[in-house]
Amino acid sequence: MSLRDIPAMHRLLGEPRIAGFSALLGPRTVKDAIDDVVEPIRRSAGNSDSVVPPFDAIVAAVCARLSVTEREGLLEVINGTGILLHTNLGRAPLAREAVDAIGSVASGYSNLEFDLETGARGSRYERIGGLLSELSGAEDGLVVNNCAAAVLLILDTFAKNREVVIGRNQLIEIGGGFRLPDVLKRSGAVLVEVGTTNKMYVRDFEQALTPRTALLFRSHQSNFQIEGFVSDVAPAELVRLGRRAGIPVVEDLGSGALVDLADYALPHERTVIEAVRDGVDLVAFSGDKLLGGPQAGLIVGSKPMIARLRANPLLRALRVDKATLAALGATLRLYLEPEGTKRIPLYAMLAQSVEALRERAAQIQTRLGEHAKHVRIADSEAYAGGGTLPMARLASAALAIRAPRSDPNALAAALRRERPPIVSRIVGDELLLDLRTIRPDQDESVAATLRRRLEKNSADS
Ligand SMILES: *Cc1c(COP(=O)(O)O)cnc(C)c1O
């Protein structure tokens, strides 16, 4: 073939099917897409056996590339993984009330930092502080961007150039590159490790105290568990030591449950309320884990310590926006209402019975008509995810699919290309769609997509 057979850039740019994308994505993106398609053709032009694809095929390839780009914005996806707090899928879905609250403050102005009584400047943190202390039992509370930021702010405020004592069983790494020892170092605190990986005693902490000790630090073993020959220091014991020595105790709780998960057939998870009741001086936790709210880092604790955090100039760099505050406030208020927790999607998902999930799976299967034979209703196990409750398995139900002429990986990829994309889990040679993380109002869309997919697979075979 000859280089001259390859359509020129200007011809492709002028082609109406491609030109339409210029207005949508900008000319540079369109040129790049053309290059991406044309370059490999140009490179192989030297081979005697290569042929230049027809003009229409090149246009189609460019358009396909561009339509993927167009959709690369943030999209709603259907979560069929059975992982409730999937960090890669945005962790906790928000309650209707939280979404409405965002809508009402986001499209216009709000009293974010404005006192409607006096007409003077107010604090964006005040309203949330009251709700947080109401719900946790702590004196006061503060919100920042996420729990990582909360820990950073605490260390920067109280432990800069001073020592923080922490057990070796708690030097955690959680997802996304948050390693506690590294965060400590970054904040200018000096890490003092005590005890061993499996055995911790209160005397380990006691022996490590020096005039430079700023904090006793406890971190939740969120995403792992140590079993066997182990002992740990109870938080209340650490608090007693802290009180005796006049050193505050800080707990990085991470998951941040306000309710007892044992009510949802899960292992009990230490709650924020328990940490406060144990006397921990500052408790940090996430907004979008077991709280079921927006991404945020919450800190509750004693009034004077929260006041010092508020006065730290670093807070300015970690501050949350009005949409977060609106969603967080609405979510927290649901905890104050009787039965309000049920309206938080995370707890609605947890509360569904396996029978109800099986029933929904059966209804979807029925809607597949003749293709139902490729699908069975399987027992499944759902997970809390998001670095919480790593050992807990939640009985669940799933659609297990074996598409004709398609291995499960190919089917999973095809489902991800659907709109809305469906994200699944593969077990053995089956693709699983776990009903626990699929919203009931998405069942119809799942059924329609599956039907279309299976129809196509059958036609291809
Ligand atoms: C999840 C977690 C964090 C980080 O929370 P983000 O809100 O994601 O920043 C910190 N500490 C612990 C113990 C956690 O489990």
Domain borders along the chain are 3-71, 79-89+348-460, 96-340
Evaluate: CB of 301 within 6 angstroms of ligand 1.
no
Evaluate: CB of 174 within 6 angstroms of ligand 1.
yes
- Residue 165's contacts (CB-CB under 8 Å, 6 or more residues apart) are 192, 194, 205, 208, 209, 213, 215, 216, 217
Going by alpha carbons, the residue nearest to atom 1 of ligand 1 is 254
Q: How far is the CA of 330 from the centre of ligand 1 (A)?
A: 22
Per DSSP, what are the bridge partners of residue 318? none
Fold of 79-89+348-460: Aspartate Aminotransferase, domain 1 (3.90.1150)
Q: How far is the CA of 24 from the centre of ligand 1 (A)?
A: 38
Per DSSP, what are the bridge partners of residue 144? 297
Determine whether domain 96-340 maps to CATH 3.40.640.10: yes
Give the tokens for residue 214.
Answer: 């700023």
Evaluate: CB of 145 within 6 angstroms of ligand 1.
no
Going by alpha carbons, the residue nearest to atom 3 of ligand 1 is 254
Task: Tell me what pLDDT residue 69 has.
Answer: 63
Task: Tell me what pLDDT residue 22 has.
Answer: 85
Q: CA-CA distance, 152 to 159, in Å (whole number)?
A: 10
Ligand 1 atom with the shortest distance to the CA of 255: 15
Task: Tell me what pLDDT residue 174 has.
Answer: 81
Task: Tell me what pLDDT residue 71 has.
Answer: 63
Q: How far is the CA of 363 from the centre of ligand 1 (A)?
A: 38
Q: How far is the CA of 388 from the centre of ligand 1 (A)?
A: 9
- Residue 218's contacts (CB-CB under 8 Å, 6 or more residues apart) are 166, 167, 170, 235, 238, 249, 250, 251, 252, 280
Going by alpha carbons, the residue nearest to atom 15 of ligand 1 is 254
Judged by DSSP in three states, 366 sits in helix
Give the tokens for residue 459.
Answer: 């036609």
Residue from 89, 154, 166, 174 whose mutation best tests the ligand 1 pocket (most atoms within 8 A of CB): 174
- pLDDT one digit per residue (tens) for the chain, 461 residues: 577 888 999 999 999 989 888 888 888 989 999 999 999 888 887 777 778 899 999 998 898 888 876 666 788 999 999 999 999 999 999 999 999 999 999 999 999 999 999 999 988 888 899 999 999 999 999 999 999 999 999 999 999 999 999 999 989 888 777 889 998 888 999 999 999 999 999 999 999 999 999 999 999 887 888 888 899 999 999 999 999 999 999 999 999 999 999 999 899 999 999 999 999 999 999 999 999 999 999 999 999 999 999 999 999 999 999 999 999 999 999 999 999 999 999 999 999 999 999 999 999 999 999 999 999 999 999 999 887 887 889 999 999 999 888 899 999 999 998 889 999 999 999 999 999 999 999 999 999 999 999 998 888 75
Alpha carbon distance, N-terminus to C-terminus of the chain: 34
Evaluate: CB of 222 within 6 angstroms of ligand 1.
yes
Q: CA-CA distance, 172 to 187, in Å (whole number)?
A: 16
Q: How far is the CA of 148 from the centre of ligand 1 (A)?
A: 6
Helices (H), 89-201: 96-106, 126-136, 147-158, 180-186
Evaluate: CB of 133 within 6 angstroms of ligand 1.
no
Evaluate: CB of 218 within 6 angstroms of ligand 1.
no
Task: Tell me what pLDDT residue 457 has.
Answer: 85
Q: How far is the CA of 305 from the centre of ligand 1 (A)?
A: 21
Evaluate: CB of 297 within 6 angstroms of ligand 1.
yes
Give the C-alpha distances (Å, rounded to integers) separating 161 from 91, 136, 214.
Answer: 35, 31, 9
Task: Tell me what pLDDT residue 419 has.
Answer: 85
- Residue 124's contacts (CB-CB under 8 Å, 6 or more residues apart) are 112, 113, 319, 320, 322, 325
Task: Tell me what pLDDT residue 142 has.
Answer: 97
Q: How far is the CA of 340 from the centre of ligand 1 (A)?
A: 25
Q: CA-CA distance, 377 to 399, in Å (whole number)?
A: 5
Going by alpha carbons, the residue nearest to atom 12 of ligand 1 is 254
Nearest one of 175, 312, 334 to 255, comparing CA atoms: 175
Q: Which residue carries 């945005």 as its tokens?
A: 90
